[in-house]
A and B are shown apart, each in its own frame.
Chain A
Amino acid sequence: MHLLEIKNLHVEVDGKKILNGLELSVGAGSVHALMGPNGSGKSTLAHVLAGKADYVVTQGEVLLDGEDILALAPEERAAKGLFLAFQYPLEIPGVATMTFLRTALNAQRKQRGEAELSTPEFLKRVREVAGKLGIEQEMLRRGVNVGFSGGEKKRNEILQMALLQPRLCVLDETDSGLDIDALKTVADGVNALRSPARGFIMITHYQRLLNYIVPDVVHVLSRGRIVKTGNKELALDLEATGYVQYQEEMA
């Protein structure tokens, strides 16, 4: 059984068809890159997986560990181990990042019937992962993403991912807006989380990120469905030729 199985997924937004019979399987331990031109449905897929409202699934199934998650609330999917690193992380003024992390972690643990973490244990874990990502304690005291630079926001996403230990990580254009140093830090953070029990979907427009997080499988998405699947070389081909051929294939 695959960690994630998407079968014949059709999705509409405001009556407009965005995903068009998408099929995708991600096994535990593997990293899948999902590439494609603007408007091909990459971010839609990320949001549908996480359960955002306004996306209407007209057909298809999404199985996580064999269980259909489409009827579940976003927080229930999160507790089952689905994590979405946002392209544009939201700001929450007045809520310290540390408070947010703790609330989120304990909310998930509660849903899974696990005990809340003690304060010392929680702090220990946060310090550990924050240290690896070069996140200062001062940043953890600030409001969630408030006044953070683009790089800080993305590092904060990876910090949350590392702390919550999800089974399936969906990274939505995590590389956008990052300079090369920030990109390396974020990639190191992601690579450190690679494990036989965990799967990744990395949504990206550019091949650059894949130099640092090397994927097992690369998919090309066009007009709401996967039109080509290959290994990491496929990403390099795309870099050279662009997406035009795939758009034409569809047309």
Chain B
Amino acid sequence: MPAVPQTVDQVRRIDVDQYKYGFVTDIESDKAPKGLSEDIVRFISAKKNEPEWMLAWRLDAYRRWLTMREPRWARVSHSPIDYQNIYYYAAPKKKDGPKSLEEIDPEILKTYEKLGIPLREVAVLERVTPPEGESEQEGNGYGRVAVDAVFDSVSVATTFKQELAKAGVLFMPISEALQTHPEMVKKYIGTVVPISDNFYATLNSAVFSDGSFVYVPRGVRCPMELSTYFRINERDTGQFERTLIIADKGSYVSYLEGCTAPMRDENQLHAAVVELIALEDAEIKYSTIQNWYPGDATGRGGVYNFVTKRGDCRGKNSKISWTQLETGSAITWKYPSCILRGDNARGEFYSIAISNGHQQVDSGTKMLHLGKNTTSRIISKGIAAGRSNNTYRGLVMAHPRAKGARNFTNCDSLLIGDKCGAHTVPYIEAKNSSAVFEHEATTSKISEDTLFYCRQRGLSAEDAVALVVNGFVKDVLQQLPMEFAVEAQKLISISLEGSVG
């Protein structure tokens, strides 16, 4: 009878050894010396030829950061991080800076190919051009995706720029936006996540190297999905990307971020900041597929993912929706949140967090109801396998002014095996009597009987787990853009490999 001993054995072996994206690209890179100081901050700013105010802003953040301490409240543990032993800037070495895709180092392009990212515009066009006779409707699988790829710290290529420009949409590396639209960056950066927000966000404010900038003008529905792929390549480099998305009145944009990193023994620090601003009647949909290296079977290595993501529903009737599929990283510390400032604003958070091996996840959301009749919805699905710990931590708050605020929260946890943990830590603060908050939570285990039922029908143990898990997360998967739903399903299967016998 194979199941029992095999299960134990497989759990011991853990799939994280088989991390699919663990390869290193051999390219020379242009690095700042290790460590963090005012000089490094000045170096980064100078490298990017930033305006004076940006440098002043970074230095302000750096000085604040020196006085701050790492947050300790999350259910994660790690050995101390030596912030002086990290490279804060690494750019792929270039002759004069690529003007077009043809000039990009073929090694870099190959890396993206391995990741399956349609970087070359030709490839992108091939992928997105529907065969003759098929119309370009939602659901036929031929999506329209513009890719902004961040390789270590510098954005190497942006596709579909021209077509977006026609619609008036700005989609570019934030370093470029600082050159071409500095006034717009200045107006919005730090207005959602202030430089003093938290230890990691403040660090990011001082040393951020690149990220995406998106502006969708008034009344414009962005003609395609915008997508960014991040990848940490250089040894000991932290990745500090900064993303800023502004949806002007009555506009709509859907943005997808995907992340991978090569296998390393050392831990790689990733401290990103994402700020979303939705003005009156605007809508932003932000989706993440996070697949950073989770560390090896003994819990060595892997990415520390300390990320601050926040959206500001600044205008009336605005809407921000976060969807995330988190399968990677040794540690995930991440709470994509919504400030529901405008009346009737709506915030949504859909999350699938899968942990296996020795991974630690502490993730959730904050829904801050400030405006009248604001609504929010939280659907969180946590899946814990191996020896991992998976915590949902969330805050739903209604301000005294937020009359008629409503929230619905549903947190489900699924356990695979008996050495993992699932935890739910919801905070609810209703400061006015008209607020209606609902909270539902369940914890369940995949039963041996269910797996046996599937296997009796011919599914392997792993396929059976993947099937059950896919059913468990269905409500959230449906929120992902069509083009990525299939990829997401595969990723779920991959990240659960070895979780059962």
Q: Please pick, from B2, B449, B471, the residue contacting A143 in the complex, using a CB distance under 8 A.
A: B471
CA distance in complex: A57, B447 (Å): 22
A104 touches which of B3, B4, B457 (Cβ 8 Å):
B457
What chain B residues lie within 8 Å of A99 (beta carbons)? 467
User: What residue of chain B has the Cβ atom nearest to residue A75's Cβ?
Assistant: B455
Contact between A53 and B457 (Cβ–Cβ < 8 Å)? no
From B453, which residue of chain A is reached at the shortest CB distance? A90
CA–CA, A56 and B1, complex, Å: 7
A248 on the B face (CB < 8 A): no
Looking at B450, B452, B475, which has the most chain A CB atoms within 10 Å of its CB? B452
B162 contacts the other chain (CB 8 A) = no
Residues of chain A within 8 A of B463, CB atoms compared: 103, 107
Which of A53, A99, A105 has the largest count of B CB atoms less than 10 A from its CB? A53
Is B472 an interface residue when CB atoms closer than 8 A count as contact? Answer: yes
Is B452's CB under 8 angstroms from A92's CB?
A: no
**Residue pair A75, B460 in contact (C-beta under 8 Å):** yes
Number of chain B residues close to chain A: CB under 8 A: 27
Which residue on B lies nearest to A86, using beta carbons? B453
> Does the CB pair B471–A74 fall under 8 Å?
no
Contact yes or no, A107 B459, CB < 8 A:
yes
In the complex, the chain B residue whose C-beta lies closest to that of A55 is B1
Binary per-residue interface labels of chain B (1-19) against chain A in the complex, 1 for a CB within 8 Å, 0 otherwise: 1111000000000000000
CA distance A92 to B474 in the complex (A): 12
A133 at the interface (CB under 8 A from B): no
Contact A95 B458 (CB under 8 A): no
Asked if A103 and B1 sit within 8 Å, CB to CB, the answer is no
**Chain A residue nearest to B452 in the complex (CB):** A52
Min CB–CB distance B35 → chain A (angstroms): 49
CB < 8 Å neighbour of A94 from B450, B454, B474: B474
Q: Is B395 an interface residue (CB 8 A)?
A: no
Distance in angstroms from A9 CB to nearest chain B CB is: 14
Does B456 reach chain A (CB closer than 8 Å)? yes
For A57, the chain B residues whose CB sits under 8 A away are 1
Q: How many residues does chain A have at the interface if contact means C-beta atoms less than 8 Å apart?
A: 35
* Chain A min CB distance to B462 (Å): 10
Question: Chain A contacts of B474 at CB under 8 A?
Answer: 94-95
B467 and A103 form a contact (CB under 8 A): yes
Q: Which residues of A contact B128 (CB under 8 A)?
A: none
Q: Is A158 an interface residue (CB 8 A)?
A: no
B470–A104 touching, CB < 8 Å:
no
Q: Are B453 and A53 in contact (CB under 8 A)?
A: no
Interface string of A13-32 (1 = CB under 8 A from B): 00000000000000000000
Closest Cβ of chain B to A57, distance in Å, is 8
Given contacts A95-B467, A143-B471, contact A103 B2 (CB under 8 A): no
Q: In the complex, which residues 73-128 of chain A have their Cβ closer than 8 Å to any Cβ of chain B?
A: 73-75, 77-79, 83-84, 86, 89-95, 99-100, 103-105, 107-108, 111
What's the minimum C-beta distance from B458 to chain A, rounded to whole angstroms? 4
Determine if B448 is an interface residue (Cβ-Cβ < 8 Å). yes
Q: Could you list which residues of chain B lie within 8 angstroms of chain A, going by C-beta atoms?
A: 1-4, 447-450, 452-461, 463, 467-468, 470-475
In the A-B complex, the 7 residue pairs with the closest CB atoms: A94-B471, A53-B3, A95-B471, A108-B458, A104-B457, A74-B455, A94-B474
* A binding-site residues for B, Cβ under 8 Å: 50-57, 73-75, 77-79, 83-84, 86, 89-95, 99-100, 103-105, 107-108, 111, 143, 160, 164
CB<8 Å pairs between A and B, sample of 10: A54-B1, A54-B448, A78-B458, A84-B456, A86-B456, A92-B471, A95-B468, A104-B457, A104-B459, A107-B463
